[in-house]
Amino acid sequence: MAALFRGSRNLLQRCNKQHVDLALVCSRSMASKTPVGFIGLGNMGSPMAKNLLRHGYPVIATDVFPESCKELQDEGAQILDSPAEVADKADRIITMLPSSPNVIEVYTGPNGILKKVKKGTLLIDSSTIDPSVSKEMALAAEKMGAVFMDAPVSGGVGAASLAKLTFMVGGVEEEYTAAQELLTCMGANVVYCGQVGTGQAAKICNNMLLAIGMIGTAETMNLGIRLGLDPKLLAQILNMSSGRCWSSDSYNPVPGVMEGVPSGNNYQGGFGTTLMAKDLGLAQHTATNTKTPVPLGSLAHQIYRVMCARGYANKDFSSVFQFLREQEDEPEKKGD
Amino acid sequence: MAALFRGSRNLLQRCNKQHVDLALVCSRSMASKTPVGFIGLGNMGSPMAKNLLRHGYPVIATDVFPESCKELQDEGAQILDSPAEVADKADRIITMLPSSPNVIEVYTGPNGILKKVKKGTLLIDSSTIDPSVSKEMALAAEKMGAVFMDAPVSGGVGAASLAKLTFMVGGVEEEYTAAQELLTCMGANVVYCGQVGTGQAAKICNNMLLAIGMIGTAETMNLGIRLGLDPKLLAQILNMSSGRCWSSDSYNPVPGVMEGVPSGNNYQGGFGTTLMAKDLGLAQHTATNTKTPVPLGSLAHQIYRVMCARGYANKDFSSVFQFLREQEDEPEKKGD
Amino acid sequence: MAALFRGSRNLLQRCNKQHVDLALVCSRSMASKTPVGFIGLGNMGSPMAKNLLRHGYPVIATDVFPESCKELQDEGAQILDSPAEVADKADRIITMLPSSPNVIEVYTGPNGILKKVKKGTLLIDSSTIDPSVSKEMALAAEKMGAVFMDAPVSGGVGAASLAKLTFMVGGVEEEYTAAQELLTCMGANVVYCGQVGTGQAAKICNNMLLAIGMIGTAETMNLGIRLGLDPKLLAQILNMSSGRCWSSDSYNPVPGVMEGVPSGNNYQGGFGTTLMAKDLGLAQHTATNTKTPVPLGSLAHQIYRVMCARGYANKDFSSVFQFLREQEDEPEKKGD
Amino acid sequence: MAALFRGSRNLLQRCNKQHVDLALVCSRSMASKTPVGFIGLGNMGSPMAKNLLRHGYPVIATDVFPESCKELQDEGAQILDSPAEVADKADRIITMLPSSPNVIEVYTGPNGILKKVKKGTLLIDSSTIDPSVSKEMALAAEKMGAVFMDAPVSGGVGAASLAKLTFMVGGVEEEYTAAQELLTCMGANVVYCGQVGTGQAAKICNNMLLAIGMIGTAETMNLGIRLGLDPKLLAQILNMSSGRCWSSDSYNPVPGVMEGVPSGNNYQGGFGTTLMAKDLGLAQHTATNTKTPVPLGSLAHQIYRVMCARGYANKDFSSVFQFLREQEDEPEKKGD
């Protein structure tokens, strides 16, 4: 799906229906190479900020870890000491943080963004957090006259470096174009999902279905192999049939079936089990809060939790295939 | 994947490596319009037999239900009284039966195929049964000098009528061409899977992964809707992301997301919950016998069992979406 | 386990090690018939407050529902308008509220307890909520010089009326005696569990294991019946063997096996499915927060969620037996 | 429940309603110290046969392993070469074999019991197998004029040595007394369950509920510990509350909570994970065959399957607690 792009005429038409400060919105969007704030320079945030720099945007950044700041500074970013200071200097800010408490602190803490944010500022949070926290932040931002959008990403550190991330964006639709302008520097797909929180919802839903598909594929491949099927042939059959899914045709967990995926590299790199468990915990949390039954999603979450406890925390999440297989050091396994 | 077809030169070369009666094999395959036996004229068997007739094969058939026999007779088939009598008249026989006990009876029972089967007969069983039963039948057939292959199908009654089934074939590779000749009259895809039993294995594996994908898709769509996402948009996002699977992009369980699928027709038709539960029971059985852990497959089986007990037995298996949703007559559902 | 009781000498010894205001503690405990505040007069709170009245304690109460207040007023309680007002008049307060947000509001809201609470006040929260919220409230109370303990209950509305509840208490051990004095008016068992939050932890753990035991018993009884066992005999066998649990020997879910339990009364009364789902959601939440794998507890939660959606919301939680059984209106259920 | 014992007058009264050969039944029961056949001298069969010898019964035995035979021979048993030979010499035979195929072979194989069994012989199978196989054997025995009962045991090798097993007996009620006479030499509890197959059903049901209770207890104890509860205190609370079950009060899986159980001995001895997985596979099989939904039982089965694959095959089944806990060699486990 190509990136969606709407031109400035469209924006002006939309501006006319706005409730926010029109002048600030238009001035922000047209003066596009004004500095962009970036808070959170970790594995994902750092390559994302670099891509903004590459597109000619001055970047004003901060992070709790000095080494991460230094790296960005070498690339040309200006480093400040706190989120509040960044908010004082930039009217568009992107945040990329590990979890809800970090987001709450960076936005509403004593030295947080909202302490000094200017009216009309566009705040884009690309962290993956509970959608209800995104909604809280949006309300808090609105009180300060700023606009908050959730725009979590899919694609991992590789896609972050190559500017091939997928962004799932939630927030007031009139701000979407302005967000897109920045996000298209860092991603290949930018999708508008609806009101604030729906970006998180889309991300969480995708990852729950991904986890179910991956574990299902691992179980199925393992069963087929035990029943005498050649793994490559089985994968071909699944991929031409109704069992087909991304995990079977693009990220097969069985070593030797596909090249260029973690199963062919001892499950190194990729998307770690710990991170998948975290996302599944978020999915479970939102499901409980909305009283939605998610039996397979719930069990997928538990399986990844057990894997974290059994030595698989840092392996790619496709290592579930290995987890379900018998360990070689169990000769007595056939003893029943 | 297009139907595989290997020519007669290939067959002759393969014939030279045979252990079965060469003369019978070659004479069987080359005299291709000799009568074909067909045992089991139910929802699937009947349209399959009709497609053989349409391709110019005389069909000699039998079934325990006289009405099914009458229907095929009207189409030009010759009806006999038992599997043994069919075996006496045809040297290629296809069986399409509901379950393992039926297969055991039709092949090895008092009036079964093997009572009168002729040496060199090709037996193709398209029932979906336990692969170990297929292997038993193959051994029993071998003792009588006949050849047995398992060739279960995928695609349902619609695909059966339109001759668009997928056949997953297991058995001695040298017989595959002869089987193909017949199967390509009834299906669009014919795949060789390996030794006897691997056709069943492939079918069972595909359906287990399909069930996991369908329930996962239903849970995910339901969760997304509850979190404020538009269902069509969510499906689009999943289908362009790593959550993509056949259930989300070709058979979406949410009414209104896709046309031409059971969710748009009150879950009528399609592939029934009872049939899916049966296949999942087979998968569980083979998993237990090979000591293979299948946690999601196991839970998918249980979910479909509960659905069978709660009024969903005859609905399409995508009705799991409806099953997980709240019933309208529960105003107090939000009362926690 | 009999109620634990420690004498005043013990209390004085403990007082000497205190960090709280000794004078207030001692004066509170010794002048035991001073008014007790009670906030939350629902199905549980109302009979609990009545039991305090019966033991000669003046009760000063409030609730958001006027009818609940009226009922207590008729029993002799003094009704005030807000938690803050209650805190102004009583130095021992019990709260019994539905969930975390209610607790947060009642304690820290604009008209909350902590707005007017007096130094040294003993606050006992008998709601079942997230232990981390209990800890938050304890910290907030400590800042105001008050002491907070969590003391969730087990036993249901019947036990509440009969003053036979079990209280699981968490908080500073020195306050336990003072809490006991009040709790023994309302319960038969009072257990000290540890620091603040451990009372909630014990309650949540018990209910998770209870749910697992109840669903397990329902599955087992159903399976046994289908395999030809008489239900009463099966229950006897389980109860003398290693399958024994409270659900099989004290609350059997199969009609006719035991008297005096909801299964004998069409699953009316008892402990509702919705409430069990709520407690299991809390268990799942704490498990996720501590990265604890709880596969069966997680699935039990999902089963109760589905039951809430399928018409079982207000039935006793032992109705899971009925949920797993086949509905009578499914003649084709044996048709696979 | 004390062992049931019915006197000879009762037996004579029952004899009058018999369909079997009265003379043989009465003569068999009254000449009680006639030789008893015993087939299967493994971990369980060997101590069971020894207890028969201790009660003064001559034992005629066989087993496929010569060493097992030798051991019994030293204790005074007469060893023969095959089940058929044993059947030729004894009119009461007990079998104790690992699984269904073994039972089918020993009873109906070329040198099986039924090749030489005498009319009126009482056959007691104490193996734990599929109840439908027990029914098959009963039918086959009936054709030869013999009587077959299933009497699987509970209690393990310790109880076998101490003659404290529990026998769950299925078969024609008139034969029960004769069976009891022998079984009370080897067990402390003998229970009549109903027709043939119900003994197996009771055993399978008990072990499914036991597995659910054990995993549930392990999850619950682990969660409570992580939430700050002392394990011994938590166990006490569960055991006085509705969470109570045999696994929490008689076989607690947490080291240090109870003495004299495998958790206190590094999970050595006891009832192995592999054996529990086998029993759960049987339960799943019977559930599938009767279309009974068993979601928790199904998941318990999968959890024990994964444990077998992950190094826990020979540990006591309470080692699930250890399996769910974090391994010490994972410092990054808190890194999410």
**C-alpha–C-alpha distance, residues B311 and C333, integer Å:** 9
What's the confidence (pLDDT) of residue D91?
95
In a domain, C7, yes or no: no
The Cα C227–Cα C262 span in angstroms is: 25
User: How much is the mean pLDDT over chain B?
Assistant: 89
Q: Is C66 helix (H, G, I), strand (E, B) or coil?
A: helix
Q: Residue window 89-108, chain D: list those with CB within 8 Å of chain C.
A: none
Q: Is residue A1 part of a domain?
A: no
pLDDT for residue C319 is more than 80: yes
Q: Which helix (H) or strand (E) holds B187?
A: strand B187-194
Tell me the per-residue pLDDT of A156-185, one tens digit each, with 9 for 90 and over.
Answer: 888 899 999 999 999 999 999 999 999 999
> What distance, in Å, lies between the first and last C-alpha atoms of chain C?
52
* A294:C302 CB<8 A: yes
Boundary (domain end) residue, out of C161, C176, C195: C195
Residue B295: which of D210, C303, A300 has the closest Cα? A300
Question: What's the CATH code of the domain at D312?
Answer: 1.10.1040.10
Q: What is the pLDDT of residues A310-320, one digit of tens each?
A: 999 999 999 99
Question: Does B179 share its domain with B40?
Answer: yes
Residues of chain A with C-beta less than 8 angstroms from the C-beta of B291? 333-334, 336
pLDDT tens-digit series, residues A91-150: 999 999 999 999 999 999 999 999 999 999 999 999 999 999 999 999 999 999 999 999
Q: Is residue A218 part of a domain?
A: yes
Pairing mode of beta strands B78-79, D122-125: unpaired
Judge contact between B131 and A227, C-beta under 8 A. Answer: yes
Give the 3-state secondary structure of residue D227. coil
Distances (CA, A) of D176 to D21, D59, D169, D185: 15, 21, 8, 15
Please indicate if any CB of chain B lies within 8 Å of the CB of A135. Answer: no
The residue ranges of DSSP E strands in C217-329, in sequence order, are none
The distance of C69 to chain D (nearest Cα, Å) reads 32
Within a domain: residue D16? no
- Residues C258-294: pLDDT tens digits? 998 999 999 998 889 999 999 999 999 999 999 999 9
Please give the distance of CA A259 from its chain centroid, rounded to a whole number: 25
CA distance A99 to A10: 35
Query: Is C203 one of the catalytic residues?
Result: yes
Better pLDDT: D45 or C335: D45
SS3 A84: helix
Geometric angle at alpha carbon D255, from D249 and D260, rounded to 5°? 60
Per the prediction, chain C carries an average pLDDT of 89
Question: The domain that contains D94 carries what CATH number?
Answer: 3.40.50.720
Q: Nearest by CB to A278, which of D325, D327, D336?
A: D336
Q: Chain C contact for A299, CB < 8 A?
A: yes
Question: Is residue A76, in this structure, part of any structural domain at all?
Answer: yes
Q: Are residues A232 and A282 in the same domain?
A: yes
Quote ipTM for the complex. Answer: 0.86
* Cross-chain CB nearest to C313 (options B311, B323, B332): B332
Closest CA to D206 of C220, B157, B272: C220
D132 and D262, same structural domain?
Answer: no
From first to last of the 336 residues of chain D, give the pLDDT tens digit: 333 433 444 444 444 444 444 555 445 544 558 999 999 999 899 999 999 999 999 999 999 999 989 999 999 999 999 999 999 999 999 999 999 999 999 999 999 999 999 999 999 999 999 999 999 999 999 999 999 999 999 888 888 999 999 999 999 999 999 999 999 999 999 999 999 999 999 999 999 999 999 999 999 999 999 999 999 999 999 998 899 999 999 999 999 999 989 999 999 988 899 999 999 999 999 999 999 999 999 999 999 999 999 999 999 999 999 999 976 443 333 333
**Is C153 or C158 the better-scoring residue by pLDDT?**
C153
Question: Across the B/C interface, how many CB contacts are shorter than 8 Å?
Answer: 59
Domain boundary pick from A195, A223, A255: A195
Three-state SS at A76: coil
CA distance B151 to B147: 13
User: Do D172 and D97 belong to one domain?
Assistant: yes
Summarised one tens digit per residue, pLDDT across range B294-316 is 999 999 999 999 999 999 999 99
Same domain, C44 and C101: yes
Q: Does D189 share its domain with D210? A: no
Distance CA A176, CA A170 (A): 8
Assess B55–D contact: CB distance below 8 Å, yes or no.
no
Strand-pairing partners, residue D272, are D316
Residues with pLDDT less than 50, chain B: 1-21, 25-26, 29-30, 328-336
| C159 touching chain D per CB within 8 A | no
DSSP string across C133-162: HHHHHHHHHHHTT-EEEE--EESHHHHHHT
Residue A11 within any structural domain of the chain: no
In angstroms, the separation between the Cα of residue B106 and the nearest Cα of chain A is 25
> How many domains does chain C contain in total?
2
Interface check D311 vs B, CB under 8 A: no
Q: Would an 8 Å CB–CB cutoff place C334 in contact with chain D?
A: yes
CB-CB: which of A308, A327, A332 is closest to D333?
A308
Instruction: Check whether residue D225 and residue D76 sit in a common domain.
Output: no
Burial of D239 (C-beta count, 10 Å sphere; 0-12/13-18/19+):
middle
Task: Quickly count: other Cβ atoms within 10 Å of residue C40's Cβ.
Answer: 26
* Residue C90, domain member (yes or no): yes
Cβ pair C273, C313 in contact under 8 A: yes
Amino acid making up residue D65: F
**Would you call A266 an interface residue with chain C, using a CB distance cutoff of 8 Å?**
no
Same domain for D77 and D62, yes or no, is yes
D38 forms beta bridges with D61, D94
Q: Which of C277, C285, C295 is closest, CB to CB, to A302?
A: C295
Cβ distance D290 to C223 less than 8 Å, yes or no, reads yes
Do A105 and A219 have their domain in common? no
Q: How buried is residue B108: exposed, middle or buried, by Cβ count under 10 Å (0-12/13-18/19+)?
A: middle
CA-based torsion, C171, C177, C179, C185: positive or negative: positive
Q: What span, in angstroms and rounded, lies between the C-alpha atoms of D190 and B134?
A: 41
Query: What is the model's pLDDT at position B6?
Result: 39
Please, are residues D201 and C229 in contact by the beta-carbon 8 Å criterion?
Answer: yes
What is the radius of gyration, based on Cα positions, of chain A?
Answer: 22
Q: Residue B291 and residue D305: Cβ atoms within 8 Å? A: yes
Choose the catalytic residue: A203, A278, A291, A333. A203
- CB of B187 closer than 8 Å to CB of B162: no
* D147 lies in the same domain as D219: no
Q: Give the chains touching A; criterion: ≥3 Cβ pairs < 8 Å.
A: B, C, D
Determine, yes or no, domain membership for B17: no
Please pick, among B119, B143, B164, B203, the residue that the annotation labels catalytic. Answer: B203
From chain A, pick out residues whose CB is under 8 angstroms from the CB of C293: 302, 305-306, 309
Give every CB contact of residue B258 below 8 A, 6+ residues apart in sequence.
B235, B250, B251, B252, B264
Scanning every residue of chain D, which has its alpha carbon at the shortest distance from the alpha carbon of C290?
Answer: D226
Residues of chain C found within 8 Å of residue B308, distances taken between Cβ atoms: 326, 330, 333, 336
Q: Decide if pLDDT at C10 tops 50.
A: no
With an 8 Å Cβ cutoff, are B291 and D301 in contact? no
Q: Provide the mean pLDDT of chain A.
A: 89
Do D115 and D180 lie in one domain? The reply is yes
- Domain final residue pick, B138, B171, B195: B195
- D174 shares its domain with D103: yes
Q: What are the tens digits of pLDDT across the range B108-131?
A: 999 999 999 999 999 999 999 999
Select from B290, B251, B23 the least CA-distant residue to B154.
Answer: B251
Closest residue in C to B274 (Cα) is: C336
Of all residues in chain A, what percent carry a pLDDT higher than 90?
A: 82
Rounded to an integer, what distance in angstroms lies between the CA atom of residue C172 and that of residue D60?
Answer: 68
Q: B250 lies in which domain range? A: 202-328
- Residue B251's closest chain A neighbor by CA? A242
**Interatomic CA distance for residues C105 and B305, integer angstroms:** 44
Q: What pLDDT sits at residue D18?
A: 46
Cα distance between residue B130 and residue B282, in whole Å: 6
